[in-house]
Every structure is written in C-alpha cells, then in structure tokens.
Structure 1
C-alpha cells in the first residue's frame, strides 16, 4: 500500500513535533484526493496553532483521521496541491489548486460548488468552520495567479488578503477619525502589506518594531516613520488608531499610558509573540467579516478583481523585500516550523517547502 505522512505539533508544547507515516487515504464517491505539493511557513501558521482551540483551527484537519490522538494538532498551511484522484465530476486529476492544506502528504476533500474557479470542501467536519478557509482556487481562472509568482503567493496570499481587508476596513470607516495609524510588529509581512495598501492615502503611518529590525523596516518605504518599541513616548499625541499585530501586553500598556484618550481605536489583528491579545484589545479584526461585507457590496467577482489588482501592485515590489528559502521534504517542514516558532527567521526570509 502506498504511504503518506503527517507532521503534527503537541498542542501543549508547540516545540514538540512528530512525523507519522500512514496509508494514502482511499476515496468514496463524492471525494477527491489532493497531493500536497508546495507550501509556505510563516508566523501566520504559528498563530493558527496558538489560537488552535479558541478559533478552532485544529478542527480543519483532525489528527484522529490520521491515526494520531488529540494531544497532537495539525497547524494549517497555505500552498498548492494537485488533484491525485477524483470521484467528482469537474475535478480532474492533475488540476492544480491553491488553498488551506494540512502539513501532510495528502488531503481528502469533498468538493461542492465546482466551477471554473475551483471548489469548496464540503466535508462534514468543516461545515461550520469559516467558509473562506474551505475554498480551493484552481490556478486556471484565478485572476491573481501567475506561474512565476507561486512562491510569493504561497508566502503572501493569505497574509496579503488579511492586510487588504484590514486596510479596506480602516478606509471604509474613514480611518476612525484618526490622524495617526500605529502598527506593531511592523517588520511582519501582514503589517507591512497593510501599510503598503494604506501609505499615502490618509493619516500618518508609524511602524513599531524591535531594534534589530529597524533597518529592514525603514528600508521598505511604506511607513512614514519607524520607531523601536522603547520609543513609544516619541509618538505625536494626536488621535491615533493602534493596529496590534505583536500581541505583547507591554506595547499596548505603553501606548495607552502615553496617548490616553487620544487612542481612539485599539484593534487586535493577530500575534507574532504567541500571546493571545484579543482580551486586552478593544476589538478584534477578523478578515472574513470584512470579506462578507465587501462580498455584499461588490459581489464575488468584484472582490476577486479588486484583490487581484491590489496583489499585482504589491507583488511588483515585494519580491525585492524577500529572500525565499526553499526546503525539500517533511524534515525541512519541521525545521522551518521550529525556526519560525522560535523567532530565528529574519524578516527578509520566507520559508517555502517543496513536498
């Protein structure tokens, strides 16, 4: 019997990992088998593991379906897969799709709403999970896809979609009346992609980052000012929106102490320091909410084409900001996970793994 593999992390200790072998799953009518081909690993994937219980990310790829008990979790990845076998009309072997994938050799999906753009996985265990994560986009008919940009799409598409929706929500709310927009973890891909979208369109953009990342973050040119976290007191005391991507309580406390009631909005966007920050913030940004709003405002095609236009603008510059580091095989995936988890990956480096 052909073999597959699964990479998993301990839910109570994300530095403890396992690689488990198992059979390639068999199909029943209505299912298709995806072979996971090329994926990325960023701080975003660590976020999925940190919030695995509270935001239900562990539920997308249940470990028990792969012979593992529930002490283990499969952190979701973004990337490309190929249809290896199919019992579904319109989903053909060899078709290449982009989407939410397990850290594993294969994934069984139950495609529904099949059309030229791809399909949705209607597997029962995913039915009440956020629908944007269940879409698999065919490379044919995807307005954002370019073959030569696959690695950029792997590393940035989900992050850039979050950034695109975040920037859109800020603009949609007339910048919340602020004169300054402060982003923490400013060297992170999600932060600087949002800054790229917002720069020059409204209030002053200020990035906060660690001293080690000051040079890189300033070199991007998408912030009006970049400060180390220790210099929060240098911020102008004007009406300010804080977009928190760091999850560090001390950063929020310093900002609140300095700005007082001039901090007009405090929004948790994500985290890179493995400290859930939703409770401390005034509100939490969740991209699918703004996506649903714009789906109603613009329609699905309108949203797709606006995203594709924004992506093409961003992709023209981001290739100069990134060094793609390609690994091969499950062991390289584990190495990349540990590098990102422990903060050993420089902001210029993006991990792509060919499986």
Structure 2
C-alpha cells in the first residue's frame, strides 16, 4: 500500500519465510478499554539486531509479541512512544516511554506493575514471553536516559544490554578458562559494545570482520587485535580461546574448530548476522549454545536486585555513550515508507558499519 493512502493506523509486515518481502498494511487504531493504554510509536531504530529478531522469530518467539496475519510478521523495534490515551491510574497521556515497539503506528498495552518507573505489558499473549521485552520505561525516571542522546539510546541501548550481559557473563564465569575471546562480526554494534566492556578485564579480545571493515574496526580501539575472516587461521592455538559467534557462519566456525582444536574451550552463538538460525543448546557445555541475555539478567536481578542491575547498566552506558558518538553516523528518515526502505537496506546487508538508522514516525 502507498504510504500516502495509509489511514492513521498501519503496520509494516515482512514475510516470515522471506525477510526480503515487506508490505505496508492498514491497521485500525485500537479502541481503548478499561485497564488499557494506547501508545503512538514516535521514534525507532533499525539495525542488524532487528533482522536477528526476524531470523529467530519462530524459535525465540519474537513474532508473538505483535501478532499479525498468518505467514507474516511484525518486526520488533526499540524506540520511544507517547501515551496518547489511557484508562490506567498512573499512566498519563503525554508521557514518553522507551521500550519494545512494533513496526507500526500504534501499540495497545495493558499496563501491569505500574510504578514511577513505568510498567510491564500484561496482555495475555505476552504472559509467557521473556519479561525484559515487556517493560516500558518512563523517561522521567530512567537512570540511563539523556534527552540529547535519544538517537544513541534507540540505536545502541538494546544492543548494549546484550553487550553488557555478555561481558558480565564472561567475567562472571572467568571466561570459561579462556585467555582469548574471539568475536566475529566485530564491526557490529553489539560485538564492539562487548569488546569495549571487556577492556582491562584480563583477557585478550580479538575481533574478526570482513576485510572491508578491518580499518573501521581497528579505529574503534576496543580490540587487542583485528583480523579479516580470511586471516582467522593466524590466531594462536597455543592458549585457550572462547569464540563468541555474532555471525552464525558455519564455514567460519568449522575453520576455527579445525585450526584451534582443543584450544577452543567454548563456542557461544550471540547473533546471526547471516540470518540463519543458530544452534539450540545451553551455556553449560563446551559445544555451541545460544547466549540469551535475559537469562543472565535474571541471575543478576536475583543477586543485585532490579535497581542494582539498572544502576550498573546506567554506569556502563554513561561510559560508553560519549565514546560511541564518534563511532556512528546517525541517518534520520521520516514516515512509514522510509521505514520500509530502511528495512530493505538493513536486511540486505547494505548498511555501512558507521551508519545508524533512526526513523521518525
């Protein structure tokens, strides 16, 4: 549908078996009932992380957050929304929230556990989905919020949560005995966020990337060594290594396994930038397993409390944000048609590593 013909409500849907297929479709603005609030999606980011959500949409249940018609999915995005109507005490129209949003114009939520920080969406279809994705945070009480850095928060905060929890998990587990951590897709935002946090933690950090991105990745200064994928066999097999796999590239994994042999003490899949779902598994064995940030978050909430975790994250974010401002070129676009265009660009892998897309809706 032509964006100029869209009514007030709309969604961008993508083919669940062909992520390169996308359509703008009309979606009636929901009617409000008691206990509900209506959010207008205002400003969102679109990165390779969102493509990962789509690639893992079935196995990790990402498609279930914002249901749509059979065969299609609404890709979750992170960003800011405004409360335009509310029948919930403590949720006032005009409030600004950060959270997990649909690729569309509106989101109907049923706020639960409302307090001064925000709320969790208690809609029944989200009850068994990972709770961190159900939280909506008011900007007025967000420890990490800075009004002049909204774009950075949109682009990096969800990725940096994964970076933060991955780095925390590695340190918490003494790197599983490794003395070198190898990160693929080292030019990606999540990978270099983790590398930034691992500096000075007592383990060598090596980044693998495409040859065209070597210079950019080296310029970040957060890796001890950067190698092109073709040069991965120059890694030393003389000391134990852990492979944090952000690429999901089976050929690269096979090369590293053959080259490092017994020196490869663990292989954990963090992302799938090649858009092929990674292996199932746990983080308790030495074979491949998916790293799922909410698992480590739950552990730390139990140990530190929610406020303790949020304070530590905010401290890390405030160290990272001023640095990363020099690493990204924010590109703004406007409207539903722009969102569709950016989806195609990011999904096809055409976005340069320095580019960060923010779409104002």
TM-score by length of 1: 0.97
Q: 1:86: which partner in 2?
A: 86
> For residue 16 of structure 1, what is the aligned residue in structure 2?
21
Alpha-carbon separation, structure 1, partners of 2:83 and 2:140: 14
1:112 maps to which residue? 112
Contact 1:249 1:277 in 2 (8 A): no
Structure 2 residue aligned with 1:163: 163
Deviation of 1:23 after TM superposition, in Å, equals: 2.2
Cα shift readout 1:155-184 (whole Å, capped 9, x = no counterpart): 001000000000000000011111111000
Deviation at 1:71, TM superposition (A): 1.4
Question: Structure 2 matches for 1:138-177, cutoff 5 A?
Answer: 138-177=138-177
Q: Distance in 1 between matches of 2:22 and 2:323?
A: 36
Q: Deviation at 1:12? A: 1.4
User: Partner of 2:258 in structure 1?
Assistant: 257
2:272 is aligned with 1:267: no
Structure 2 segments unaligned to the other structure (5+ residues):
1-6, 282-286
Give yes or no for contact 1:31–1:111 (8 Å, CA) kept in 2.
Answer: yes
Task: Tell me which residue corresponds to 2:303.
Answer: 297
Query: Per-residue CA shift, 1:294-348, capped at 9, x if unaligned?
Result: 0011111100000000000000100000000001000110111000011110000
- What SS does structure 2 have at the residue aligned with 1:241? strand
Question: Take 1:175 and 1:73, find their aligned partners in 2: how far apart are those partners?
Answer: 37
Confirm or deny that 1:52 pairs with 2:41: no
How far off its partner does 1:271 sit?
Answer: 1.1
Aligned to 1:247: 248
Q: What value does the CA root-mean-square deviation take over the aligned residues?
A: 1.0
In 2: Cα distance, 1:273 partner to 1:123 partner:
33
Aligned match of 1:66: none
- 1:246-303 deviation digits (Å, cap 9, x = unpaired): 0100110010000101100111111111112225952211000000000011111100
In the alignment, the residues of structure 2 paired with residue 233 and residue 324 of structure 1 have an alpha-carbon distance, to the nearest angstrom, of 35
- Please say if residues 195 and 205 of structure 1, whose CA atoms lie closer than 8 Å, have aligned partners that are also in contact: yes
The CA distance in 2 between the partners of 1:254 and 1:176, in whole Å, is 21
Runs of 4+ in 1 over 4 A off after TM superposition: none
Q: How many residues align?
A: 349
* In 1, Cα distance between equivalents of 2:8 and 2:344: 25
Displacement of 1:151: 0.3
Aligned equivalents of 1:347, 1:27: Cα separation in 2: 41
The whole-number CA distance in structure 1 between the counterparts of 2:280 and 2:302 is 29
1:317 alignment partner, one of 308, 323, 330:
323
1:106 is displaced (CA, Å) by 0.4
CA distance in 1, matches of 2:211, 2:329: 21
**1:21 Cα deviation after fit:** 1.5
Instruction: Spell out the pairing of 1:26-41 with structure 2 (5 A cutoff).
Output: 26-41=31-46
Distance 2:326 2:113 in 1: 38
The residue that corresponds to 1:99 in the other structure is 99
> Partner of 2:345: helix, strand, or coil?
helix
Does the 8 Å CA contact 1:324/1:352 hold for their aligned counterparts? Answer: yes
1:205-220 correspondence to structure 2 within 5 Å: 205-220=205-220
Q: Equivalent of 1:306, from 305, 312, 316? A: 312
State the distance in 2 between where 1:260 and 1:277 align.
21
In structure 1, the partner of 2:76 is 76
The 1:234/1:124 distance shift into structure 2, 3 A limit, reads same
C-alpha contact 1:248 1:273 (8 A) present in aligned 2: yes
CA distance in 2 between counterparts of 1:181 and 1:23 reads 49
State how far apart, in whole Å, the 2-side matches of 1:152 and 1:348 are: 13
CA distance in 2, matches of 1:3, 1:83: 16
Q: Which runs of 5+ in 1 are unaligned?
A: 64-68
TM-score (structure 2 length as normaliser): 0.95
1:22 shift after superposition: 3.0
